[in-house]
Amino acid sequence: MEVQETRVQTDRVLTIPNLLSMARLVGVPIFLWLILWPEFGGPNNDGWAILILMLSGISDYLDGKLARRWGQISRLGQILDPAADRLFVLSTLVGLTWRGILPWWVTAILLAREAFGASVLAILNRHGYGPLQVTFLGKAATFNLMYGFPLLLIGAGHSWVATPALVVSWAFIWWGTALYWWSAILYAVQARQIVKADRLGGAAA
């Protein structure tokens, strides 16, 4: 398997893709506050929470696509984009599990994947490497989860769309979970190749 190289095309910070990623980061605490407010005696704002989740999914698709199309792939963007993805997934897991909407064992499966990815990244950092380029598979996994979660929240309601939304949401969540783990395994394989090549290069020197 060929290791994907990082392709930095610009040193600019204020690019449209970076601003989209920053907006997604700002949306994380807002979403968490909205989804958990009813648990602390506040009003139900699930409609706004769903809107923020949907906008996050759209921006997640657009930032990478625009960065590649406009030649605006930056080092900052390569950090912001996956960071925003991870934080939104984690905040959604916390909020939906706390509300009892998402079963704890599904949350455990996804958190285990996050821990696995963090351990792989730690190994890369020890060898002087940063995060690898985000793959299409990883983005597809996040896309499925970020569209499955708002539908799951709709399915927890009592409107006429609740039942079909619930069915479709679980299809997205299961596909997203499978792709999430698959992308993590491929990420680990790529990291292993880099570390192995690094060791062979050190031995040859």
Count structural domains, the chain: 1
Residue 57 falls inside a structural domain: yes
Query: Which pLDDT tens digit goes with each residue over 12-44?
Result: 778 888 888 898 889 999 999 999 998 888 888
Q: Please state the pTM of the whole predicted model.
A: 0.77
Residue 140 falls inside a structural domain: yes
C-alpha atoms less than 13 angstroms from C-alpha of 182 in its C-beta half-sphere = 14
Task: Report in angstroms the alpha-carbon separations of 189 from 1, 126, 176, 192.
Answer: 8, 16, 20, 5
User: What sign results for the dihedral spanned by CA atoms 24, 29, 30, 31?
Assistant: positive
Query: What range defines the domain where residue 89 resides?
Result: 16-204
Residue 114 falls inside a structural domain: yes
Tokens 């990082």 found at: 6
CATH label of the domain that carries residue 162: 1.20.120.1760
Identity of the amino acid at 153: L
The alpha carbon of 10 is separated from its chain's Cα centroid by a whole number of angstroms, namely: 23
Query: Which pLDDT tens digit goes with each residue over 127-138?
Result: 787 777 777 788
Residue 6 falls inside a structural domain: no
Query: Which pLDDT tens digit goes with each residue over 42-100?
Result: 888 888 988 898 888 788 778 777 777 877 777 777 778 878 888 888 899 999 999 99
Residue 69 falls inside a structural domain: yes
Residue 10 falls inside a structural domain: no
Helices (H) and strands (E) in the chain, counts: 6, 0
